[in-house]
Amino acid sequence: QDLCRNQVPEWAGDELQGVRCHFPGKADAGETLLQPSSEMAAESGQLLLTATDLQVHFPIQRGVFKRTVGYVKAVDGVSFLLAAGRTLALVGESGCGKTTAGKALLRLIEPTAGEVEYAGVNLSTLDKPAMRAVRSDMQIIFQDPYASLNPRMLVGDIIEEGMKALGVITDPAVRKQRVDELLERVGLPASSALRYPHEFSGGQRQRISIARALAVEPKLIVCDEPTSALDVSVQAQVLNLLKELQDDLGLAYLFITHDLSVVEYLAHDIAVMYLGRIVESGPAAEILDNPEHPYTQALLAAIPKLGVQAAETETVAATVDIPSPSNPPAGCHFHPRCPKALEQCRVQYPATTVLEHGHRVACHLSSRTAIK
């Protein structure tokens, strides 16, 4: 309309969500901790996955009658977005809940609360047959290549199993041809289909796991620390393969890891988890160059650098154990280990502050000014 052509609309909303439009519509929405950057939107143009206030709580049961006395809050209100063709790295120490979050997205673990939307479909409302229909779009690569492959099955049967179970390819001859193509795609000879997993090295087994995930032509792959069990040289080969596949096939990755040096190479966006919650998120370059949360700073400081002496900076206290997710500290969960903690940190959990460049942080100590 003429109004749109002649006048710039006012911003309507708050620091977390809003719209600049003369005729805004209304839609249900939840708070998200990671917004897609303009670069993300330009490259993909499609929002693939949305997690809103995702929670996974495991009951603690004791006594003869298994009475519930508490809960382990493995994932406690996690929200993020993932666009097609992008990599979101979910980073944190062991036990922070990142693997549980990844499995909850695929409903390999049923979420306690929250919503997961894939391509506009709320997965939490789907029954088993409907969820099965979505499985071919969402796959996972597990951490341990020695435990994730059935030792009694031939490699060809392992890769073919998903195609048969989900009805992706019904013709056996076409399935066999597809298996051969996938093996060659991940850098293994087609003859590998007639061998067993124990005949391969760790790196080769992880390539088989990647081929299995690709067999049903997914759009999203959850990569659960796929390189952590491998030698450094083999890690680089697997990372190069994943990057090449993403470029060729337009795959979206949720890359779960504790290694920020890996993240720097592969990720477009980063979300840092601590005790079940995301404490900082944003574009990868922004997080790596300008970390705001003391936990993120400690993770970056722990990366070994060739020829550089250990920096004499305040880091996480090595003598303080990670708190239990069944009994997290009051206030900011990180304050018992934070060298900069204030009294406010001990009594009040920080709200999420929205900074420039899509950077978000939940910390009372953030030195940068929030976007108004």
What is residue 100's predicted lDDT score, i.e. its pLDDT? Answer: 96
Mode of pairing for the β-strands spanning 360-361 and 277-283: antiparallel
Q: Characterize 158-184 residue by residue with b for buried, 16 or more Cβ atoms within 10 angstroms of its Cβ, and e for exposed.
A: bbbbbbeeeeebeeeeebbebbbebbe
Going across the sheet that includes 47-62, the strands are 67-83, 47-62, 113-118, 121-122
pLDDT in tens, the chain (372 residues): 556 655 656 656 544 455 667 666 643 333 334 444 434 433 444 899 999 999 999 999 998 888 999 999 999 999 999 999 999 999 999 889 999 999 999 999 999 999 999 998 999 899 988 998 898 999 999 999 889 999 999 999 999 999 999 988 999 999 999 999 999 999 999 999 999 999 999 999 999 999 999 999 999 999 999 998 888 889 999 999 999 999 999 999 999 999 888 898 899 999 999 999 999 999 999 999 999 999 999 999 888 766 555 554 455 554 467 888 888 999 999 999 998 889 999 999 999 999 988 899 999 988 765 555
End-to-end CA distance of the chain, in Å?
28
The answer to whether 328 touches 97, Cβ cutoff 8 Å, is: no
Q: Domains, the chain, ranges and CATH?
A: 2-119+219-361 (3.40.50.300)
Candidates 131, 107, 117; CA nearest to 28 is 117
- Cβ contact 151:198 at 8 Å: yes
> What's the pLDDT at 308?
54
Task: Name the residue with tokens 């009694």.
Answer: 152
Give the count of alpha carbons within 13 A of 350, CB side only: 25
Closest by CA to 333, choosing from 363, 313, 368, 296, is: 363
Q: According to the model, what pLDDT value does residue 19 have?
A: 60
Residue 10 has a pLDDT of 64
- What beta strand segments (E) does 235-283 contain? 252-257, 269-274, 277-283
24 within 8 A of 12, measured Cβ to Cβ? yes
Is 359 in contact with 292 (CB distance < 8 Å)?
yes
